[in-house]
Amino acid sequence: MVARVRHLFGRLTDVGEARSALGRALLYERFRALQRQIPLLYTVALVNFLGLAFASGLANFTLLHPANLLVLFVVVRMGHWLRNRGRQLAPEEIQSELRRTLFLAALISFGFGFYAITQFNLSSAYQQGLVILFASLASVGCAYALASFPVGARMPVWLLAIPFAGRLLLSPNSGHIAVGISLVLTALLVLRLVKIHDEGFVELVRSRSAVESERERAQHAEQAALTEKARVREVADTDPLTGLANRRAFIAELEERLGRNGGRPFALALLDLDDFKPINDIFGHAAGDAVLIEVAARLRRQGGAGPLTARIGGDEFALILPCGDESAAERTGMRICEMLGRPYHVEGRDFRISSCAGLVVLTPGGGDVRTALSRADAALYTGKEKGRGSAAVFTAEIEQANGRRIEIERRLSDPSIREAISLSYQPIFDLSTGALRSFEALARWTDPDLGLISPVEFIPIAEQINVIEGISDGLLARSAREAARWPDAVRLSFNLSAVQLCTAGSAPRLLAIIAAEGLAPERLQIEVTETSMLADFATARVNLEALRVAGARILLDDFGAGFASISYLREMIFDAIKIDGSLIAGVPQSPIGVRLLKGVLDLCASLRVPCVAEHIETQEQIDMLRQFGCRDGQGFALSAPLDAEEAGALGAAKVVPFAARNRGRRKHDSAA
Ligand code: C2E
Ligand code: MG
Ligand code: MG
């Protein structure tokens, strides 16, 4: 029974579903409309109620009259609604507020109806007319005022209009009966109109909420598209290994900064790791990757996150730094190089690498990306020339040197330049017997505008712009042609560039070139430097072994100039080691220099590899080298580089005491 009553009450007070979006929207809209109309509703109820009370005679009116309570109640509720006007409530709060409104609407309607019927029974004919008027107006007015809350709107109809109409229908007065019928019909009409109004109201809210949810959906879709676009952009702009910005993102950032109208100057820094390749080659890519990740982490600390710090190539990085002038840029560049030069502890090993930096100070709105990059590149080139771990800032002098470099590049790109590059031949003698052992072919280039261009200058440029192969092959063919005319005992010593050395398939091509010129491989001597093997030691070894197998000799050139990596002596077999000129230059004046030279010569002796000393400029040096057991020698004290004809003539002489070639220099010890 209790359950049934509760069910019935539940049905009667069902004020709408708050779970669905539409239900919630309806709740809000009904409540909003009620908030606007309820004060009017109470005013209508109050005016009509007071009218009713006055019509039926104030004489009956006492303070304790139940009608007073109703008036008091209406005033309190009106105050409540006025206080809460415009307040935002949760759906559950709205539901309970509506339930309360429904209950009170029922109570007030019932009370009004009961009071109207009582007063009608007690009143005179005139007063009865007024009671009818106030009761009817109150029921119709209140039902309309509650139209946006139809369950509530039915209360004044069912609990006031219909019972009062029923009382009129029971009256013996035909006029009262007619009014009763009219009131019933009006009540039914009001119910119908409330229903129609509610259908329209629901439809309006439904379409508004459909538009709203469509707008929300579109907003979500737009937000999702923006998020996805940002994600795709981030992936496209990020270097996957280090998480730094990639070249594309960095260039875009640089372009944006250069394009700004005004702002502080900043520095663009390009960094190139010096000894990264051997880590990859010797310890594997995992170790190489770990080092790059650590480099990136150090740079991020310096240059910050985002597109300001980028990995723009395998072991090349770039930064945008807040340096306003050249000296600040140089200090920052040196600090970065010093920071990257600290040991790396990765995968249980300690690695040391260094890095060179090239910086250029830029002003927003002053210049384009291409020029900025080429200037930073020119500064980097200068940094590299200064030595490992060095930084250089772009200056007017660098610009001048860069201009010369660009001119050299332009000339080298033209294949006809090969004819302009000639060869000279510098003899290498046996220091004890004076016998001529070989001629080292040295490239010579004098340009009408640029003057003398040293091979130290143009060979690396030819390597960088990828024209070295054509130039070097041409020089090898020419020198092999010359060498074929020398006595069999005299070899051709040829400097092989780093690019050729580290390019797969170089060996068979070189052998084919000398074969075409009629020079046996046994008469070829290839000079390689340790740094030229750095780029790809594995390929260099394959090439050199193929040449050795064919009969050529391999010389390690400039030994002692760089790091004198002893490991190369273990990994590769060399037929001779050329001691770098810098080790000869200090002797015999410098005691440390003498000890160092002796130490290096002893090292070679213990490896049983003969030595060639280069850059011998004095008789003392010849004597000392001979005394320390150095087998061969080369240098201005023995002979300057000769042209092809002179070299041919020297080669034709059976045994030449090298001092005889030492034009104007001190004569050598005749015992040699
Ligand atoms: P390198 O192979 O060490 O060549 C010896 C360099 O020392 C030559 O300079 C030579 O002229 C110079 N020299 C000879 N005697 C003396 C001396 O007594 N004192 C001093 N201070 N220098 C002396 P050059 O011709 O300027 O060549 C420089 C470097 O350029 C060479 O060093 C070699 O690495 C490279 N190079 C020269 N020609 C070629 C070439 O045809 N191909 C390649 N790939 N590299 C070449
Ligand atoms: Mg050489
Ligand atoms: Mg050398």
DSSP-assigned states of every residue in 110-153: HHHHHHHHHHHHHS-HHHHHHHHHHHHHHHHHHHHHTTTSHHHH
Tell me: pLDDT of 261 over 50. yes
Ligand nearest to the backbone CA of 579: 3
Counting ligand 1 atoms within 8 A of each CB, the residue from 444, 495, 559, 620 with the most, and so the one to mutate, is 495
Tell me: pLDDT of 310 over 50. yes
- Assigned token pair, 339: 């920071």
Rounded to an integer, what distance in angstroms lies between the CA atom of residue 535 and that of residue 274?
A: 10
**Among the residues of 246-368, which ranges form H helices?**
247-259, 276-283, 285-303, 326-340
pLDDT class of 443 with cuts at 50, 70, 90: very high
- Sign, CA torsion 227/230/233/237: negative
When mean pLDDT is compared across 233-237, 391-395, 533-537, the lowest value belongs to 533-537
How large is the C-alpha radius of gyration of the chain? 52
Ligand 1 pocket member 558 (CB < 6 A) = yes
Rounded to an integer, what distance in angstroms lies between the CA atom of residue 471 and that of residue 533?
A: 20
Ligand nearest to the backbone CA of 500: 1
- What does the pLDDT average to over 366-379? 91
Active site residues: 315
Centre of ligand 3 from the C-alpha of residue 210, in Å = 84
- What pLDDT does 662 receive? 46
Backbone dihedral angles phi then psi of residue 234, each to the nearest 5 degrees:
-65, -45
Atom of ligand 1 nearest to the CA of 640: 15
Rounded to an integer, what distance in angstroms lies between the CA atom of residue 359 and that of residue 460?
A: 21
When mean pLDDT is compared across 92-96, 151-155, 433-437, 623-627, the lowest value belongs to 92-96
pLDDT class of 666 with cuts at 50, 70, 90: very low
- What pLDDT does 54 receive? 76
Ligand 1 pocket member 495 (CB < 6 A) = yes
When mean pLDDT is compared across 19-28, 63-72, 514-523, 556-565, the lowest value belongs to 63-72
Centre of ligand 1 from the C-alpha of residue 189, in Å = 115
Q: Please, are residues 364 and 378 in contact by the beta-carbon 8 Å criterion?
A: no
Atom of ligand 1 nearest to the CA of 580: 3
Q: Strand pairing partners for 269?
A: 319, 359
Q: Say whether the peptide bond before residue 588 is cis (omega within 30 degrees of 0).
A: yes
Give nearest CA residue, ligand 1 atom 37: 442
pLDDT class of 667 with cuts at 50, 70, 90: very low
Ligand nearest to the backbone CA of 532: 1
Ligand 1 pocket member 527 (CB < 6 A) = yes
- What pLDDT does 523 receive? 98
Ligand 1 pocket member 479 (CB < 6 A) = no
- What pLDDT does 671 receive? 31
pLDDT class of 663 with cuts at 50, 70, 90: very low
Centre of ligand 1 from the C-alpha of residue 381, in Å = 21
Tell me: pLDDT of 459 over 60. yes
Q: Vertex 10, ends 5 and 13: CA angle to 5°?
A: 120
The percentage of residues in the chain with a pLDDT greater than 90, rounded to a whole number, is: 54
State the distance between the two ends of the chain, measured CA to CA, in whole angstroms.
135
- What pLDDT does 11 receive? 56
Give nearest CA residue, ligand 1 atom 41: 443
Residues with CB under 5 A from ligand 3 (ion): 557-558, 614
Ligand 1 pocket member 580 (CB < 6 A) = no
Backbone dihedral angles phi then psi of residue 368, each to the nearest 5 degrees:
-110, 165
Ligand 1 pocket member 556 (CB < 6 A) = no
DSSP 658: G
Backbone dihedral angles phi then psi of residue 352, each to the nearest 5 degrees:
-130, 125
